[in-house]
Amino acid sequence: MRLTIQRIILSSRYLLIPLYVGMTASVLLFGVKFFQELRHLFETVSQAKEADLVLGILSLVDMMLVANLLIMVIISGYESFVGPIQVEDMDKKPGWLGNLDPGTIKIKVATSIVGISSVHLLATFLNIKDKTSEQIFWLTILHLAFVVSALFLAYIDRITSK
């Protein structure tokens, strides 16, 4: 009975596969949105102000950071919880594949969130006329909370790795 329960519990990790496939589809959605925004920038570049162009490019950077984060979570999560990813041609294998443990991925996710938050905060400062002082204050506090969290996770990982 105990062995059967253990097999069921261990096999439950395969329930994650549809979630990883769904997250992969979300990267495709980001790709569609990215190219829509890029097309919009090309269509409006001649009449756009420099600040509007910078905001548009920051939007592209933001989408790219989120897509990178998703790919990192999908691949490392699959490898950590489902099984190793087999790559036939080792030259096509990313160098970090197989080297990310859950602690490292948490730090990478946290630093990615800090990067995304930085882009949003910069976009807010560039488009400051649409925000109140209170909104800017809270966005800055939230960003600092992300920074402190990332530093705290890195510190904990450093302590536990020794």
Query: pLDDT tens digit string along 90-113?
Result: 677 777 666 777 777 788 888 888
Considering the entire predicted model, what is its pTM?
A: 0.77
What CA–CA distance (Å, rounded) separates 160 from 143?
26
What CA–CA distance (Å, rounded) separates 143 from 122?
11
Token pair 């699959």 is at which residue?
78
Query: pLDDT tens digit string along 115-130?
Result: 889 888 888 887 777 7
What CA–CA distance (Å, rounded) separates 49 from 47?
7
Mean pLDDT, contiguous 10-residue spans, the chain (162 residues)? 92 94 95 96 92 88 89 86 80 70 79 88 80 87 93 86 73
Maximum separation of any 2 CA atoms in the chain, in Å: 72
Residues 6+ apart with CB under 8 A from 51: 126, 127
- DSSP annotation string for 132-148: -HHHHHHHHHHHHHHHH
Alpha-carbon Rg for the chain, nearest whole angstrom, is: 20
The pLDDT score that the predictor gives to residue 38 is: 96
* Helix/strand/coil percent split, the chain, to 5: 85, 0, 15
| 129 residue type, one letter | K
The CA–CA distances, whole Å, from 74 to 23, 64, 109, 110 equal 7, 15, 12, 15
